Amino acid sequence: MVIIIQCRDRVGLVAAITSVLAKAELNIVSMREHVDLEEKMFFARIVVDGIQSQQNIEMAITEVLPAGAIVKVNPLPEKKIVVLVTKEYHCLSDILTRNYFKTLGAKVLCVIGNHPDLRNITEQFSIPFHFVSHENKSKEDFENDLTNIILQYEPDYLILAKFMRILSPEFIMTFRLRIINIHHSFLPAFIGASPYMQAFKRGVKIIGATAHFVTDDLDEGPIITQTIIPVNHSFTLTDLIKAGRENETAALAKAMQLVFEDKVFVFNHKTVVFE
């Protein structure tokens, strides 16, 4: 059983929580906690062993915490996701392969593309593919078409696997803190279009990838994970892009693992990540 807690900090929280668990005869297998001293917030992820009613444990823990506490007991072990794509295949192919071998930690319900290019690879894995064109229609109509399909599947998260469209605040609010994006640079550097060209012209010595939750601020949502790889003067632009794609795939895979295992907490514009 996994217990997730987020609340205002105060003295004695850990003692109060562990007392509840002991009274319920639940053995603590692991416990990770963090206090944000500036914001006075407490975060904890606890794994326990034993048989007990999830609802009863959630109520008992909530009673010993400050008002407004968020307590989740045993979130679904396998999340449900919808993947949004455009034309680049590298992140999608990794997701589909992990999903096929059941190492993703989630189930891919469908893939939606604003171009039909990735239909073939998706259907080879027996996953439904929906083509929703953004051409010759308003942004509102395009996003309404997306939303209508997504809501049919009732996913826990949306994964933007190189989905090259800027989403509206209204769409983002519909799936608030449930949209994960992979950005092809070490944010906040090289925001926007052609980041590898920007990096190449600057002669950078490292290139990065950032996986983050999507918010109204373009490419500035709470960061889940970032990865970097070294490069040097011998790298051509093509070399940078190839290395960058491998880096993007790794960063997105790591971010999904952390989120699907309920190891990521979001507060304000930051995350607490129990790796």
- What distance lies between CA 160 and its chain's CA centroid? 9
Continuous segment of H or E residues that includes residue 83 = strand 79-85
Catalytic residue among 49, 216, 217, 219: 219
Q: Beta 79-85 vs 27-36: how paired, if at all? A: unpaired
Residue 271, beta-bridge partner list: 266
In this structure, how many other beta carbons lie within 10 angstroms of the beta carbon of residue 238? 10
219 is catalytic: yes
Distance CA 79, CA 265 (A): 16
Q: Give the C-alpha distances (Å, rounded to integers) separating 57 from 20, 63, 263.
A: 8, 10, 20
Q: Is the peptide bond before 77 cis (omega within 30 degrees of 0)?
A: no
Give the DSSP letter of residue 117.
Answer: G
- Residue 95 tokens read as 């997701």
Q: What is the DSSP string of 8-24?
A: E--TTHHHHHHHHHHHT
In this structure, how many other beta carbons lie within 10 angstroms of the beta carbon of residue 151? 12
> Angle, to 10 degrees, between the axis of helix 13-23 and the axis of helix 54-63?
150
Please count the residues of the chain: 275
| Catalytic positions, written as ranges | 219
